[in-house]
Structure 1
Amino acid sequence: MAQHAPPARGARLGRAAGANGSVSTVSGVVLLLPGASRWSPGPVRPLARALARAGGTDGLVVHAVLPGRGTNREEDAGWGAEEVVRRYGDVPVCLAGYDAGGRAALRAAGHHAVNSVLALAPSLGRTVSTDSPEPVKQLSGRQVLIVHGTNDAHSDPEASFRLAARAKKANRATCRFEVHSDGHRLRDHQAEVVALSVDFVLGAMLSGRYSRPVTDALAAPPPLGLRMPLASGFGHSLRG
């Protein structure tokens, strides 16, 4: 096995969850990028557990990217992808982030190992400047899912809609779901958010298949595929 690269500015990968055994059994790696505050993890922890349960037997590994003091989250995400390549070889990587981690996942998607991006309530600010908008070119060729609560008072959901609309023009494999009446932590409909996220990640990383709502969202023209409502009870009959 290759030697581990020294962490960038103190970042490190958390303990692996999911697939067990030798490196050769790993078929894909999800890097979880937490939010700005450890006191507000949002759905990251239950998502990690759900992904490990759902994908572990098929070779999916889940790592959290733990930032060091004063680290840049986008750089941490890029370093994490490099570390995955060093540890596991040529396997696909999904960057899955919440809050500031969601923004980092979107921005770091240009790494060659990244095949998919999951951004939960990405912290893009109240507005996206028309003079200097968030970049989207790096999302080309990736499977992209953005999930945002319509009552998010911390990160403007319209900012993520505008980013998704720009990304969709260059990358048809972009969709966005709205969690009606939910806030920034996505706490009121956490089970549905986690189920949607797991469905997307497994489809992007392992099977190439998605549930009907995700398939429809990816195929629908904007704005329909970028304002898909997340149905209450989503996940109870996935892939059925």
Structure 2
Amino acid sequence: MPHDDIDTSARTTPALLPRRCPPRPRAAVLVLHGGQETSEHPTHPRQLAALRMDPILRAVTAALPHQDVLVARVRYRLRGWNGTRADAGRDTLRALDELTALAGPVPTVLLGHSMGGRAALHAAGHPQVTGVCALAPWWPTGEPVGQTAGRRIVALHGARDRVTSPAATADCVHRAQATAARAGMAVIAGGDHAMLRHHRLWHRTTAAVVAHLLDPAAVPDPLPQECYGTGDFPVL
């Protein structure tokens, strides 16, 4: 069902930017880059937050076990989350509606970094979404998790992140465990917010997690069982 609460003018620019679009997709991955807490500036494909996701996108695409998975970016209208407007979250819902129109009701994994992780969590309740992989997500204390019901949620957070909080991410995952089909987290030892330190581990682990979320029955979970416990999350 289209989200009519999004203003009509926003629909003139597509929110869905396909990077790989097979004729008959059986599943989809939507990639969401980071942004700012507050900004009315329009997004640009060459901004650092968007470029940061290029190697992640390439790693995920290369690791997909099947060629019939659609891979796309989400284009935000503005760089900021902008309080209760949750602009990036609204754009993600719009991209999911566009995906439905393009490919039908295919199971979809949202892969988001920083603010993109918040947008992914915000949109987790969309009928298309079956899983969320959040990288160093910006999940403020008390972020709602009811929309994760029936979904699989995985967060990866660098231990040395000084931009977003690994502790806040852990709290959100623990709360989501009460509603999600499965929710877990792993900590990247020495990892930073930009995912530059130990970038190969970030890329390899992210690609493996996304492949598992796309097909949990056929692709083994790359994370240890301790990632889904109720205590402290393990360090990779």
Which bracket does the TM-score occupy, shorter chain normalised? Answer: 0.7 to 0.9
SS at match of 2:215: helix
Aligned-partner Cα distance in 2 for 1:221–1:172:
13
For residue 228 of structure 1, what is the aligned residue in structure 2? 234
Aligned-partner Cα distance in 2 for 1:148–1:176:
8
For residue 94 of structure 2, what is the aligned residue in structure 1? 79
Relative to the length of structure 1, the TM-score reads: 0.80
Aligned-partner Cα distance in 1 for 2:94–2:100:
10
Contact 1:9/1:68, CA 8 A, preserved across alignment? no
C-alpha change, 1:207 and 1:43, in structure 2 (3 Å) is farther
Counterpart check, 1:174 vs 2:180: no
For residue 33 of structure 2, what is the aligned residue in structure 1? 34
What does 1:153-164 correspond to in 2, within 5 Å? 153-164=162-173
Instruction: Name the amino acid aligned to 1:14.
Output: L
Aligned-partner Cα distance in 2 for 1:63–1:222:
33
For residue 44 of structure 2, what is the aligned residue in structure 1? none
State the Cα deviation string for residues 161-193 of structure 1 (Å, max 9, x = none): 110111112225111010122211121122112
State the Cα deviation string for residues 128-177 of structure 1 (Å, max 9, x = none): 1xxxx100111111111101111111111111011011111222511101
Aligned-partner Cα distance in 1 for 2:127–2:152:
13
Unaligned runs of 5+ in 2: 1-7, 37-46, 81-86
For residue 74 of structure 2, what is the aligned residue in structure 1? 65
SS at match of 2:186: strand
Please tell me the root mean square deviation across aligned C-alpha atoms, in Å: 2.4
Runs of 4+ more than 6 Å apart: none
For residue 237 of structure 1, what is the aligned residue in structure 2? none
SS at match of 1:228: coil
Aligned-partner Cα distance in 2 for 1:151–1:68:
30
Unaligned runs of 5+ in 1: 231-240
Candidates 60, 68, 77, aligned match of 1:51: 60
C-alpha change, 1:204 and 1:53, in structure 2 (3 Å) is same
Percent identity of equivalent pairs: 24
For residue 238 of structure 1, what is the aligned residue in structure 2? none
For residue 236 of structure 1, what is the aligned residue in structure 2? none
Relative to the length of structure 2, the TM-score reads: 0.81
SS at match of 1:58: coil
Aligned residue pairs: how many? 213
Counterpart check, 1:208 vs 2:211: no
What does 1:82-231 correspond to in 2, within 5 Å? 82-125=97-140, 128=141, 133-206=142-215, 208-211=217-220, 213-214=222-223, 216-217=225-226, 220-224=228-232, 227-230=233-236
SS at match of 2:137: coil
Aligned-partner Cα distance in 2 for 1:215–1:79:
34
Aligned-partner Cα distance in 2 for 1:66–1:180:
31
SS at match of 1:170: coil
* C-alpha displacement of 1:208: 2.4
Aligned-partner Cα distance in 2 for 1:51–1:157:
23
For residue 15 of structure 2, what is the aligned residue in structure 1? 12
Deviates more, 1:200-209 or 1:96-105: 200-209
